[in-house]
């Protein structure tokens, strides 16, 4: 049966080749496309969620709206300890925020001050990817500047900057800090206005000792486990704070990621349908051409069920060949996208506050290959069903009379 199907395919080798190539091209386009788009979504997720929102976040109920320095949490230390004990949390950190005037000898600018706990923060934020130059914070008196802000101020690593701000008691808070690194976070606003310093330094500057604005957690199970983690966190903290998942905190980003996913799904469906119609066309044609031959086979005692199996086998073989060829082509392209990236030629570009590097890298995931393979094969077999059914319904006598 297999041999027969194989031979049948190559009887019209040009037509079969074209079908195989069409499927291969479909797969070869789909795989890199999925890889590329996932790479883009991963960048967005990383900038918006991993670096900022966290999977789950805890804040003073008013803070998300007011962003006021005064809306800090009570008993932050106790809460932090309780959250660090949660088995579902892989990392926990705390942060305080402020705004101030940041200056060098020659220039000054308004800056967003982010107070981070260097050790805990580095477990939550991928510091190596966030740092453009220099080193992460290690001790008090150090500061990291967004590279845009540093440019604007003519500040460089090793230099000193001054912060002047309004402290929580109404007095003027001021301090001098040494620049140890430049940050390229991917968030345009932060890269141009952000300054990261030790949590304790910021607390002292703002006169908010032992107070923080947010606790941020990552789920040990990854982003699919945020709801479980949220439930744990809610149980672990009191009611003086509000607990939100990243998608509750940043519904716009969540919506965008969802929309992007849908778009790529729609694209996949279109490509698959094209492949499916290719198979359908090929099989219909070959059944039609072989009416007489099939009639002879059935007259000689081949049962309709066997005819169906033969035609399906042919469709299946076509799709296997298409998928293998497509997998090789697509895999090669995915490799290039992941390792070398794609230069879109715009330079760095910004989309909803996220700065993408001009050379975008794809993301490899085995799902890209398997989903393409499985759906192509399923579609091909489905597409072969109708011709197969038609063939099985042939009346041998009638069929043998056909030309």
In the three-class reduction of DSSP (H, G, I as helix; E, B as strand; rest coil), residue 109 is classed as strand
Question: Could you say which of 162, 285, 320, 338 contacts another protein (CB under 8 A)?
Answer: 162
Q: Which is nearer to another protein, 103 or 134 (CB)?
A: 103
Binding of another protein by 108 (CB under 8 A): yes
Q: Please work out the total of residues on this chain that contact another protein, with binding judged by CB under 8 A.
A: 17
Q: Which is nearer to another protein, 204 or 289 (CB)?
A: 204
Q: Which is nearer to another protein, 170 or 301 (CB)?
A: 170
Binding of another protein by 140 (CB under 8 A): no
* DSSP secondary structure, 13-58, as one string: HHHHHHHHHHHHHHHHHHHHHHHHHHHHHHHHHIIIIIIII-SEEE
Binding of another protein by 158 (CB under 8 A): no
Min dist CB 143 to another protein, Å, is 14
Question: Could you say which of 118, 146, 148, 175 contacts another protein (CB under 8 A)?
Answer: 175
154: left (phi over 0), alpha (psi -120 to 50) or beta: left
Question: Could you say which of 61, 110, 126, 222 contacts another protein (CB under 8 A)?
Answer: 110
Min dist CB 172 to another protein, Å, is 6
Query: Measured between alpha carbons, how far is residue 342 from residues 37, 82, 332, 356 in Å?
Result: 12, 44, 14, 12
Binding of another protein by 374 (CB under 8 A): no
Min dist CB 197 to another protein, Å, is 14
Query: Measured between alpha carbons, how far is residue 71 from residues 55, 67, 157, 182, 233 in Å?
Result: 21, 7, 33, 29, 20
Phi, psi (degrees; rounded to nearest 5) at 132: -85, -40
Pick from 42, 123, 96, 75: nearest CA to 338: 42
Residue ranges in 11-70 that form contacts with another protein under rule CB under 8 A: 70
Structure token digits, residue 289: 């051409």
Question: Could you say which of 103, 140, 159, 260 contacts another protein (CB under 8 A)?
Answer: 103
Binding of another protein by 174 (CB under 8 A): yes
Residue ranges in 264-293 that form contacts with another protein under rule CB under 8 A: none
Q: Which is nearer to another protein, 61 or 110 (CB)?
A: 110
Residues 6+ apart with CB under 8 A from 332: none
Stretch that binds another protein, among 25-33, 106-114, 225-233, 281-289 (CB under 8 A): 106-114
Phi, psi (degrees; rounded to nearest 5) at 315: -60, -40
Stretch that binds another protein, among 88-96, 142-150, 170-178, 219-227 (CB under 8 A): 170-178
Q: Which is nearer to another protein, 110 or 251 (CB)?
A: 110
- Can you list the alpha helix ranges (DSSP code H) found in 117-250? 118-124, 127-130, 147-153, 188-193, 199-206, 226-236, 246-249
Min dist CB 177 to another protein, Å, is 10
Q: How many Cα atoms sit within 13 Å of 335 on the Cβ side?
A: 6
Question: Could you say which of 14, 65, 87, 171 contacts another protein (CB under 8 A)?
Answer: 171
The answer to whether 23 and 380 are in contact (CB under 8 A) is yes
Min dist CB 149 to another protein, Å, is 12
Stretch that binds another protein, among 4-12, 167-175, 262-270, 387-395 (CB under 8 A): 167-175
The answer to whether 316 and 380 are in contact (CB under 8 A) is yes
Among positive and negative, which fits the CA dihedral 113, 118, 123, 126? Answer: positive
**x/- track of binding to another protein for residues 67-86 (CB under 8 A):** ---x----------------
Pick from 289, 236, 264: nearest CA to 365: 264
Pick from 350, 372, 276: nearest CA to 33: 372
Stretch that binds another protein, among 53-61, 172-180, 224-232, 367-375 (CB under 8 A): 172-180
Query: Measured between alpha carbons, how far is residue 97 from residues 174, 215, 260, 275, 334 in Å?
Result: 15, 12, 31, 53, 41
Q: Which is nearer to another protein, 24 or 153 (CB)?
A: 153
Stretch that binds another protein, among 37-45, 107-115, 286-294, 329-337 (CB under 8 A): 107-115
Q: How far apart are CA 385 and CA 280, in angstroms?
A: 8
Question: Could you say which of 50, 51, 125, 168 contacts another protein (CB under 8 A)?
Answer: 168
192: left (phi over 0), alpha (psi -120 to 50) or beta: alpha
Applying CB under 8 A, the residues found at the interface with another protein are: 70, 101, 103, 108-110, 162, 164, 166, 168-172, 174-176
């Amino acid at each position: 049966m297999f041999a027969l199907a194989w031979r049948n395919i190559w009887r019209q080798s040009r037509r079969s080749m074209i079908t195989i190539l069409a499927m291969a091209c479909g797969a070869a386009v789909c795989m890199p496309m999925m890889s590329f788009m996932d790479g883009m979504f991963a960048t967005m997720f990383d900038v918006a969620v991993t670096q900022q929102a966290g999977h789950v976040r805890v804040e003073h109920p008013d803070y998300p709206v007011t962003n006021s320095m005064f809306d800090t949490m009570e008993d932050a230390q106790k809460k932090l300890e309780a959250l660090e004990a949660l088995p579902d949390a892989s990392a926990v950190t705390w942060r305080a925020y402020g705004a101030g005037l940041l200056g060098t000898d020659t220039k000054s600018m308004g800056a967003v001050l982010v107070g981070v706990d260097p050790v805990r923060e580095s477990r939550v934020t991928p510091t190596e990817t966030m740092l453009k130059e220099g080193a992460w914070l290690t001790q008090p008196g150090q500061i990291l500047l967004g590279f845009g802000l540093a440019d604007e101020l003519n500040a460089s690593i090793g230099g000193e900057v001054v912060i002047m701000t309004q402290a929580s008691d109404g007095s003027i808070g001021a301090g001098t800090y040494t620049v140890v690194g430049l940050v390229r976070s991917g968030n345009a606003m932060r890269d141009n206005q952000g300054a990261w310093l030790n949590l304790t330094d910021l607390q002292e500057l703002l006169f908010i000792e032992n107070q923080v604005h947010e606790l941020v957690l990552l789920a040990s199970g990854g982003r699919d486990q945020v709801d479980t983690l949220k439930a744990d966190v809610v149980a672990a903290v009191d009611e003086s704070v509000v607990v939100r998942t990243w998608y509750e905190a940043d519904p716009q980003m969540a919506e965008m990621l969802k929309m992007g996913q849908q778009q790529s799904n729609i694209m996949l469906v279109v490509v698959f349908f094209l492949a499916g119609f290719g198979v359908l066309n090929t099989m219909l044609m070959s059944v039609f051409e072989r009416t007489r031959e099939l009639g002879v086979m059935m007259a000689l005692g081949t049962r309709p069920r066997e005819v169906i199996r033969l035609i399906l086998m042919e469709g299946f073989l076509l799709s296997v060949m298409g998928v293998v060829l497509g997998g090789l082509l697509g895999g090669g392209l995915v490799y290039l996208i992941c390792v070398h990236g794609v230069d879109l030629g715009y330079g760095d570009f910004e989309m909803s506050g996220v700065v993408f590097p001009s050379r975008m890298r794809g993301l490899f995931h085995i799902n890209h290959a398997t989903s393409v393979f499985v759906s192509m094969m399923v579609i091909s077999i489905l597409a072969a069903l109708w011709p197969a059914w038609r063939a099985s319904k042939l009346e041998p006598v009638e069929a043998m009379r056909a030309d």
